[in-house]
Amino acid sequence: MPTERDRLRVLLVDDHTLFRSGLSELLERRGIDVCAAVGDGEEGCRLAAELAPDVVLLDLRMPELDGLSVLDRIAALDLGCAVVMLTTSSDERDLVTSLRSGARGYLLKDMEPEQLVDALAAVVDGETVVAPEMTSVLARVVKGGTVESDHPDRFSSLTPREFEILRHLSEGQSNKEIARELGITDGTVKLHVRSILRKLEVRSRVEAAVIAVEERLFQR
């Protein structure tokens, strides 16, 4: 049985009172500590700094200070907590902008409770989570590309295996999925991902994936 200290701590920021209340109860029943649930972006930023949660679950569409603005502020504070967008928007621009801004996940509000709990655990374990419905959207953006490359040589230091793993990262795959597809261990994938982040001078696999999307690396 996990102790209070071991429990995953989540800060919920969403302007819909009923959704906020229902989700808080749902998460608490599944052993997750909702350290605060607020409906205001400014308050969310303050509490993120004050409470140091493991994960901030953040709505995208909010009045006054919207989710992307909150995400930018939390990223600037460098608090060490993961931010996961929980939204109704399936717009690919919202997805790519959120990941580019440092979100560690992009989930849709109609997902099953157990899927959400599993996704939060994966984020804390260092993975990037994208709603299954959005994985194909991200893959389409990867294939089609959105921006011409300004830095054609920025990936030249990657080995062929690292380049291959980066392609899987850009498609939203987890370490386990990559390991299974390439026939290697999870630990080997983690080592390659670490090397990719170091060579690209980014802090997260999300940043690496979004750069790959923007640079049109895997356009067919």
My answer on whether 192 and 90 are in the same domain is: no
- The Cα-based distances of 10 to 54, 159, 162, 198 in angstroms read 6, 37, 33, 29
pLDDT tens digits, one per residue of 52-98: 999 999 999 888 888 989 998 998 888 889 999 999 988 888 888 88
Name the pLDDT band for 6 (thresholds 50, 70, 90).
confident
Domain extent at residue 40:
9-134
- Comparing C-alpha atoms, which of 64, 66, 74, 77 is closest to residue 103? 74
Q: Which of 134, 153, 183 is at the close of a domain?
A: 134
My answer on whether 21 and 129 are in the same domain is: yes
Residue 30 lies in a domain: yes
Count of domains observed in the chain: 2
My answer on whether 68 and 156 are in the same domain is: no
pLDDT tens digits, one per residue of 145-196: 443 344 445 677 788 888 889 888 888 788 888 989 888 888 888 888 888 8
